């Protein structure tokens, strides 16, 4: 049995005085895709923030373990090296990914150099092409504010994938995209997991996406995981009433996805 790359153990989180997440237990193995689903405000994004650790969120109990090591007590320098190459993040809004004033090329180069990697321009162009961004060579020299939000989002995904993370955190990555680009992006993330044997932790309110790519699904409501298991069980034989209520919206979502 494969080791868990990322484990969330009994995690409780608060922001200020408000408890947001309570007693969450989740894990992902290499090559596995875990979707965390739930309506907005259920705590799924806060959970993701606690994992990448960039925002000030209080961990009131529990632990987050990456490759057998707690990341909460990790020294800042070690954590910095782990970010991007160990745990990667694709944020929800594309403004959250790049310095708007500096070219993509410069930003990718300094990212790679921070990890002692070499910046390979042709590899980047190739990946951009597969993400529906032709003319990558020109795009690399342009600055984020010159491109649309959807294009920025796809470049952000290219950035994340080029770092070859073992765990990739995706925060509602299709919300800034149209249906076609969204499909393209989801496909690319899925094939990345398959080829690189990486674990994906995807936060989405879109159960259709979970159905399409996930191996396991966790449904969150009011800061707690109400149902957690293989996709075949959670989405097709749900036990929890809240999950069932969410699933009633699925046919509608499927129709949208097809059209």
Which positions from 42 through 71 interact with another protein, judged by CB under 8 A? 52, 54-59
**The one segment of 62-70, 74-82, 183-191, 206-214 that binds another protein by CB under 8 A:** 74-82
Q: How far apart are CA 36 and CA 156, in angstroms?
A: 21
Closest CA to 217 of 22, 32, 92: 32
**One residue of 10, 61, 102, 141 binding another protein per CB under 8 A:** 102
Looking at beta carbons only, is 153 or 221 nearer to another protein? 153
Q: Judged by CB under 8 A, does residue 223 bind another protein?
A: no
Q: Which range of residues in 13-21, 187-195, 207-215, 241-249 is near another protein by CB under 8 A?
A: 13-21
State yes or no: residue 159 binds another protein (CB under 8 A).
yes
| CB closer to another protein out of 93 and 197 | 93
Binding-residue total with another protein (CB under 8 A): 42
Would you count residue 78 as binding another protein (CB under 8 A)?
A: no
Residue 17 engages another protein in binding (rule: CB under 8 A):
yes
Smallest separation, CB 116 to another protein (Å): 10
């Amino acid at each position: 049995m494969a080791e868990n790359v990322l484990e969330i153990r009994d995690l409780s989180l608060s922001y200020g005085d408000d408890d947001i997440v309570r007693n969450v237990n989740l894990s992902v193995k290499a090559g596995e895709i875990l979707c965390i689903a739930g309506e907005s405000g259920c705590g799924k994004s806060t959970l993701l923030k606690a994992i990448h650790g960039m925002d000030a969120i209080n961990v009131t109990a529990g632990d987050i373990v990456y490759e057998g090591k707690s990341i909460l007590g990790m020294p800042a320098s070690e954590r910095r090296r782990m970010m991007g190459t160990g745990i990667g993040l694709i944020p929800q809004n594309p403004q959250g990914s790049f310095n708007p004033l500096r070219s993509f090329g410069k930003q990718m180069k300094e990212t790679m150099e921070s990890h002692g990697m070499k910046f390979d321009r042709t590899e980047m162009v190739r990946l951009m092409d597969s993400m529906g961004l032709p003319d990558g060579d020109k795009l690399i020299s342009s600055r984020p504010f010159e491109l649309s939000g959807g294009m920025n989002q796809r470049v952000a995904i290219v950035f994340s994938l080029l770092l070859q993370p073992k765990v990739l955190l995706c925060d509602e990555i299709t919300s800034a995209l149209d249906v076609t680009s969204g499909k393209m992006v989801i496909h690319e993330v899925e094939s990345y997991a398959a080829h690189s044997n990486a674990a994906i932790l995807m936060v989405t309110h879109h159960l259709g996406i979970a159905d399409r790519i996930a191996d396991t699904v966790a449904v969150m409501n009011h800061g707690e995981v109400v149902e957690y298991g293989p996709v075949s069980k959670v989405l097709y034989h749900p036990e929890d009433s809240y999950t069932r209520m969410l699933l009633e919206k699925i046919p509608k979502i499927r129709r949208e996805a097809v059209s």
